[in-house]
Amino acid sequence: MSKVTWNLFKGAEATHHIASGYAITRIAIISELAPSQNSSDVQVFAEAESVLAALDPQVIRGADCPGLDFNVKAYLEQLVPELLNSRTVKMSLIYRGLPRAILEVDSALAQIETNVDKDNAPITVSYDYPLTYKLDPALAGTTTDPPQGGLVHAFVPEITLTFKFTLIPNRCPFKTDPIEAFFDDVKALYGGAYSFNGPYPEVNMARLTFYTGKVNKNAWNPKGLPGAPRTWMCTKMGGASKDGGKTVDGLALFQYRARTWDPKVVFIDHNTGQPPGDVEQQSGAIVYPKLAGECLFPDFVDEVN
């Protein structure tokens, strides 16, 4: 039976950077081959390749190889054989490491109409008609029943997840479907045993979308700016990772409204199409429903990661 001996990597010479990533060379000695008599070098090489193929060496990972960085992951691109004797072949396996897929998470706000607040309670206003109300004598001295519903505009977050990646066609002598291989990578990096942010659970990219559409629950004064509760809203947040989630370049936008982000809903007299003249003096005729969720904002913007 043929025997395969893997030589150690050549230290710094084993990995070198090229235009589209990096290349790694690994040496395998395939010995005790049993070629037929008068076999050509090509036939001996073919037998050696079949022995290697059975070992499925198409992917190499740094975690499995002493001397390589843990994050290294490369794909077999080329085999270079060298005949040492009639039964032994030295095979150089050249791996191509592709640039890591860039994962981008982005979140922004879309506007919708709603008649309920953040707790799904109906938004309503009511009005006590004065005894002197003359536009509809039947309403004089009564209170609106049922209360008048309020339709307002609210902001909801929309999240976009983007993968940017590089593919090399026919990159592996033993597996020639780069699309299938890519999605194997995605499953390994962003699914399966890992959370989607990659094999670095200490950085959760999903957190980048947590603040979008929320307002500050308590007073928040970034860099000394004013900030009473519910006056700051995170209107956009996202980030990009080029290393599978180990580090993230993030962006956050916060917008300030001195009157808070809670809309003003006013009772409208259907007989006039306008608020009554005494609407400001009546309790319940004007409400400020809380539409946006709230949370504790970070002390400093650069702490959000």
Structural contact between residues 286 and 267, judged by C-beta atoms closer than 8 angstroms: yes
Region of poorest pLDDT, from 209-218, 244-253, 261-270:
244-253
Residue 157 has pLDDT above 80, yes or no: yes
Say whether both 212 and 245 belong to one domain: yes
Say whether both 297 and 161 belong to one domain: yes
**Does 179 map to a domain?**
no
**Does 145 map to a domain?**
yes
Say whether both 243 and 212 belong to one domain: yes
Say whether both 108 and 249 belong to one domain: yes
Please identify which residue in the block is written with the tokens 């990646």.
165
Say whether both 22 and 143 belong to one domain: no
pLDDT, one tens digit per residue, over 37-62 is 778 888 888 888 888 888 877 777 66
**Does 258 map to a domain?**
yes
**Does 233 map to a domain?**
yes
**Does 187 map to a domain?**
no
Domain that holds residue 245: 98-168+201-305
Say whether both 23 and 162 belong to one domain: no
How far apart CA 295 and CA 297 sit, in angstroms, is: 6
Confidence of residue 127 (pLDDT cuts 50, 70, 90): very high
Token couple for 120: 């799904």
* pTM for this model (two decimals): 0.61
pLDDT of 168 reads 52
Of 206, 216, 208, the C-alpha closest to 296 is: 216
Residue 131 has pLDDT above 60, yes or no: yes
* Number of domains composing the chain: 2
Confidence of residue 70 (pLDDT cuts 50, 70, 90): low
Confidence of residue 74 (pLDDT cuts 50, 70, 90): confident
**Does 196 map to a domain?**
no
pLDDT of 178 reads 45
pLDDT of 94 reads 80
pLDDT of 277 reads 92
